[in-house]
Amino acid sequence: MAEWAAKRFWKDTTVAEADGGFTVHLDGRPVRTPAKMPLIVPTRALADLIAAEWEAQEGAIDPNTMPATRGANAALDKVSVQHAEVADMLSDYGDSDLLCYRAEHPRELVERQATGWDPLLDWAAEVLAARLEPRAGVMHTPQSPEALETLRSRTHALTAFELAAFHDLVALSGSLILGFAVIEGRLSPEEAWALSRLDEQFQIEQWGEDEEATEAAEIKRQSFLQAALFYRVVN
């Protein structure tokens, strides 16, 4: 995409109504996606967020500082043209959900997982109508086909923009249930991220912190929080 390689070439960044939503103009010219599609988003809030990212660019354009723009690009160029495939891929997380695979020892970790994760499985059974069962150990045991189909239907019902954000929430946490807990308001993004890192945090407490692993985890945490914000401003 030429915009990514270029230096800032515009003076004014504005938001404008467009057919089907809102877009961002640079000196009056609409922004396009890497696939050259018009970057039209469903809400003014998302358009404002994207415009703020473009306005903040100085010198060379840095896509790493533009998560909302990247999310919109992904929704338009990728998810919208393969919605079913993306939804199916994310739905498959339900059969190997992080919250269902439990340690057999030590007792402190077993109890910590039960305390943190059991309420989310109960919530999913009640609110999402999908009961997933925990398993001890790492060997895969299939979940109920009925529960998985319910979660699949809910995932397919998301719009392309919602699914783009949901992708990161699920893939980064390793949990379909945590992704739903965030978008349904059961957990804050920070709470969900902490629960996804329960095992890692326990290991840090036992053996100490690895600087490189901590830095990598922080990058993922920021991406997780950005995905949650993207979902919120889409609705």
DSSP 107-130: HHHHHHHHHHHHHHHHHHHHHSS-
Tokens (6 digits) for 194: 């902490």
Is 35 in contact with 51 (CB distance < 8 Å)? no
Residue for token digits 């929704």?
Answer: 75
Per-residue pLDDT of the chain (235 residues; tens, 9 = 90+): 344 457 888 999 999 999 999 999 999 999 999 999 999 999 999 999 999 999 999 988 999 999 999 999 999 999 999 999 999 999 999 999 999 999 999 999 999 999 999 999 999 999 999 999 999 988 889 999 999 999 999 999 999 999 999 999 999 999 999 999 999 999 999 999 999 999 999 999 999 989 999 999 999 999 999 999 999 999 9
Identify whether the C-beta of residue 104 lies closer than 8 Å to the C-beta of residue 136: yes
User: What does the DSSP 8-state code read for residue 32?
Assistant: B
> Residue 133 and residue 65: Cα distance in Å, rounded?
39
The end-to-end CA distance of the chain, in Å, is 28
Q: Is 191 exposed, middle or buried (0-12, 13-18, 19+ CB in 10 A)?
A: middle
Superfamily of structural domain 83-234:
ATP12 ATPase (1.10.3580.10)
Residue 87 CA to residue 72 CA, distance in Å, equals 17
Two domains, one topology: 2-66 and 83-234: no
* 4: its two tokens: 């990514």
CA 89 to chain centre: 14
Class of domain 2-66: alpha beta
Count the residues in the chain: 235
208: left (phi over 0), alpha (psi -120 to 50) or beta: left
Residue 105, exposed/middle/buried by CB under 10 A (0-12, 13-18, 19+)? exposed
Question: Residue 155 in contact with residue 90, Cβ under 8 Å?
Answer: yes
Burial 91-101 (b: 16+ CB within 10 A, else e): bbbbbbbbbbb
Could you state, in order of their start, the residue ranges of all structural domains in the chain? 2-66, 83-234
**What is the tens place of the pLDDT at every residue in 132-186?**
999 998 888 999 999 999 999 999 999 999 999 999 999 999 999 999 999 999 9
